[in-house]
Structure 1
Amino acid sequence: MFSLRNLTRRASGMVKRSLPIKRKTCVATFMVINRRAHETTEKEKDELEDEEYDELSSRFLGIAPGGHGALVLQPYIKWGANKKRNTTPELQLEEAVTLLKTLQNWRVVDKMCVSLMNLKKKELLGKGNLESLKIKVRSNPEITAVFISTNLLQQVQIQELRHILGVPVYDRYSIVVQIFRAHAKSQEAKLQVAIAEIPYMWMKLNVVKETREEHVGTFESHRKLLQVRETKLKNALLKLKAQRHLLRSKRLQNKIPTIAVVGYTNAGKTSLIKALTGDSSLHPRNYLFATLDVTIHQGTLPSRLKVLFVDTIGFIQDVPATLIEPFVATLEDAMNADIILNVHDASHPDRQAQMDHMQATLKGLIKDQVVINVANKIDRISEDIPRLNMLGVSATKLIGIDGLRDELDKSILGATGRTIVRIRVQSGSRASAWLYKETTVTNVEADPENAQYLFMDVITTELQLKMFRVFLKKYE
């Protein structure tokens, strides 16, 4: 009754005409499981809430609810092997300023660049620069803190500088942790932020011990407090990893293609996902680290194939690996995706340094997936996009989005082992119903030689074809 006459005829391109797709159950199930992964029990919430720890962390991290008027200092290596050659001190300084402005109630009072031979001196700066900085700080009462834009200062450096300048001193680690704290909304994100600050807390506690700032009994109490909290958080992280493993297993079981959207912070990842999916529930925000959760969003490619877009935390230069490490549990979802969509801000003045950082970061994370590089925000630049050697789009103006969808369509078939196959089946048969349920139907045409039969173009895997053959043998 059923024919396999054209089973091996494979289309070379996308078929434009299509019928509505009925395969929604597995995608919906996956989305529900993803939402549940973000839900947290009351017990887990209690592990994150600890008044005694909050008091200690506020002191160690230098959290100031009322904010600070800060002087931003950008140190840079003037020459030698450690000199950065893909950026400038001025561009680095501007990123540091933007980073600081992300914190509520903080403002930039003054800023300066300082050249150094290295970052290892006890006072960090030479005598001349140190004296100049000291005069700037002490002569301006609006300066209540100094932000030194390097990934992690030695604790002895912070102590020395604070003593000389008379105001709190922050590095990028302490500032980014505070931004993470402010932007973490879900319990999952709060857990990862809580773990990210633990190494910094240990460093601060060791300084307290060495400088004997606390009574021995108080120090021991704080040590036990930190030790207990770290153990609880690590156990909670293991549970999170198990939940994420369940998500990945469910995705593999349902064979839903996934596209991970990664990029430098504020490159426009969420805006791009909104443009690709039409998801009106997404509300992109124009500031650094607006997204701290890995979230899943359903989309449909031109071929009518259902896919999942994975939104991820943004990356940034000059932060310790320990700050990002807790987020690896959720980043693994992205790194196991079928395709990596690497989004760059084409309009950013420090674009090259950001691109280099992303390339180096992804090299250590991805496996052998196809990486599609996208230059976002092209509506803000005048240069020729082909020079960027990537697809140019504007997520907010919807420029180039259709072209990107087409590129994703082509790439996802090869990445997931799918092909477009034309199959001849009887109209209204069990075979046609099976194809609608188990594959993605892109086009249906009546057989011109026999009106009782249809030609169905479907996107399918080799496994699905084998299952279809078994099905036909059963009902022939």
Structure 2
Amino acid sequence: MEKVILVAASLKGEKYSKESVAELERLAHTAGGSVYKTYEVLLNAYNPATLIGKGKCEEIALEVKANDISAVIFNEEITPAQQKNLANIIPAKIIDRTWLILDIFASRARTKEGELQVELAQLKFLLPRLSGKGGALMQQTGGRRGGMGTRGPGERKLEYDRRRLRVRIAKLEEEIEKVKKERGIRRARRAVVPLPQVAIVGYTNAGKSTLLNTLTQETAVYADDKLFATLDPTTRRVKMPGGGQILFTDTVGFIQKLPHNLVSAFRATLEEVSEADVILHVKDASSKDISEQSRTVFKIIKDLGAQNIPMAEVFNKCDLLPHYPLAALKNANPGAVFISAKENKGIKELLKKIEETLLFKWHLKTIRIPVSKAYLTGFVYENAMVKKRVENKDGSLTLKIMITKGNYDKIKKEL
């Protein structure tokens, strides 16, 4: 573990968020850092040269020298000029919240698609921070150490100048566009199969992957008690209690101040959300910052243009809450479902809620197909989710189905 110092700067008179500082500490830990000390700096105004005052910078520099500190991590995004000036004063890697998140993403990318998207976001972030030909990461990483803040393209592309970087960015955008088209083809194939699609979204570490593993009764999705355990979307079929199956897709976790370049680069992946029939918003019931986390998730959903998709809310990790706080949370959120994915509690109620939410688009119908219209049976199975089938004595079929209005109208027209 690398020893790091955190710097949380805020303006006097503005609301100070202890949760944001605690989250920065978790981000640092996820990236492989051990927090030695946290500086909470109140300012009348941000210093355009160094974000915080020069005196505080020099104080931090002395702490770095005396205690072999590897990196200094700022909670706010710092400009290229501030980056350079801070690196000239403080003898350690200078990392801001944005780069820290990008660094974590680089270490978590497990597929070619994920690596492409992370590299694109990192290079777009680095482009204005080049210190000249051959210096792509020298200021960003302190130019002296590996480890935290140097994962991804920084490990192998220090020789890039601006022109080469722009060429690489264009190439990555081209490759990601291919990924986008391939994802579109896969979604189109899934659309042929008459299964409703649910996108699992939520703040990072809310337990989305654990929930998907519980729903599928397997451990096909990597789950860990760390931020951004999952980068690449995973889709699995889940059997419903009332019959039929639904496709659930686990997505990358959201976070406050999620870097714009990252949202842009991961748009091909996040489009899974905007194509869903239902969005399942998973919340960490044990979080002290649940309201702010929810606002962050809603904002990103809106940015994706998915705000009009029906949503079901579920509070996870309820096993971590004492009785009275949990009761208060339930009273404040009467339309939500309360579960513990880890302990497999509340899952039946959750699936029932999802089926109810699906009724906004997928309608529950019962149809009878006479022998003379037997050719319709194939169409029904191809375009609806059959929950129950009864073969009648007269040879007809009675089917209980979930189906979209358009396909139901087609069947009714034939009947």
SS in 2 for 1:414: coil
Aligned to 2:17: 89
Aligned to 1:441: 386
Report Cα offsets for 1:115-148 as digits up to 9, x if no partner: 123434312213553454344333x323222111
Q: 1:227 to 1:388 in 2, by over 3 A?
A: same
Is 2:202 the counterpart of 1:267? no
Q: 1:435 to 1:332 in 2, by over 3 A?
A: closer
Aligned to 1:24: none
Q: Which moved more, 1:324-333 or 1:295-304?
A: 295-304
Report Cα offsets for 1:5-48 as digits up to 9, x if no partner: xxxxxxxxxxxxxxxxxxxxxxxxxxxxxxxxxxxxxxxxxxxx
Match of 1:149 among 72, 75, 78: 75
The amino acid that maps onto 1:146 is: V
Is 2:39 the counterpart of 1:112? yes
Report the structure number with the largest CA radius of gyration: 1
Is 2:352 the counterpart of 1:406? yes
Q: 1:320 to 1:456 in 2, by over 3 A?
A: closer
Deviation at 1:421, TM superposition (A): 1.4
Deviation at 1:171, TM superposition (A): 0.5
Counterpart Cα distance in 2 of 1:132 and 1:434: 73
Is 2:162 the counterpart of 1:236? no
Counterpart Cα distance in 2 of 1:224 and 1:452: 73
The amino acid that maps onto 1:107 is: S
Moved over 6 A (4+): none
Match of 1:459 among 398, 402, 415: 402
The amino acid that maps onto 2:302 is: K
Q: Which moved more, 1:161-170 or 1:460-469?
A: 460-469
Deviation at 1:438, TM superposition (A): 5.1
- The alignment of Structure 1 onto Structure 2 pairs a total of residues equal to 388
Residues 124-203 of structure 1: matches in 2 within 5 Å? Answer: 124-127=51-54, 129-138=56-65, 140-150=66-76, 152-203=77-128
Asked if 2 retains the 8 angstrom alpha-carbon contact of 1:425 and 1:432, the reply is no
Q: 1:315 to 1:460 in 2, by over 3 A?
A: closer
Asked if 2 retains the 8 angstrom alpha-carbon contact of 1:90 and 1:113, the reply is no
Asked if 1 retains the 8 angstrom alpha-carbon contact of 2:368 and 2:396, the reply is no
SS in 1 for 2:31: coil
Q: 1:470 to 1:119 in 2, by over 3 A?
A: same
Structure 1: tracts of 5 or more residues without a match? 1-66
SS in 1 for 2:60: helix
Deviation at 1:197, TM superposition (A): 0.7
Output the TM-score relative to the length of structure 2.
0.84
Asked if 2 retains the 8 angstrom alpha-carbon contact of 1:344 and 1:374, the reply is yes
The amino acid that maps onto 1:372 is: A
Is 2:374 the counterpart of 1:423? no
Match of 2:309 among 369, 374, 382: 369
**Per chain length, whose mean CA-contact separation is higher, i.e. which structure has more relative contact order (CA < 8 Å, sep 6+)?**
1
Asked if 1 retains the 8 angstrom alpha-carbon contact of 2:361 and 2:404, the reply is no
Q: 1:372 to 1:176 in 2, by over 3 A?
A: same
Q: Percent identity?
A: 28
Q: 1:471 to 1:178 in 2, by over 3 A?
A: same
The amino acid that maps onto 2:21 is: L
The amino acid that maps onto 2:69 is: I
Aligned to 1:121: 48
Deviation at 1:271, TM superposition (A): 1.0
Output the TM-score relative to the length of structure 1.
0.74
Deviation at 1:165, TM superposition (A): 2.2
Is 2:278 the counterpart of 1:334? no
Residues 213-252 of structure 1: matches in 2 within 5 Å? Answer: 222-252=161-191
Counterpart Cα distance in 1 of 2:159 and 2:379: 67
Asked if 2 retains the 8 angstrom alpha-carbon contact of 1:260 and 1:341, the reply is yes
SS in 2 for 1:442: strand
Counterpart Cα distance in 1 of 2:379 and 2:247: 23
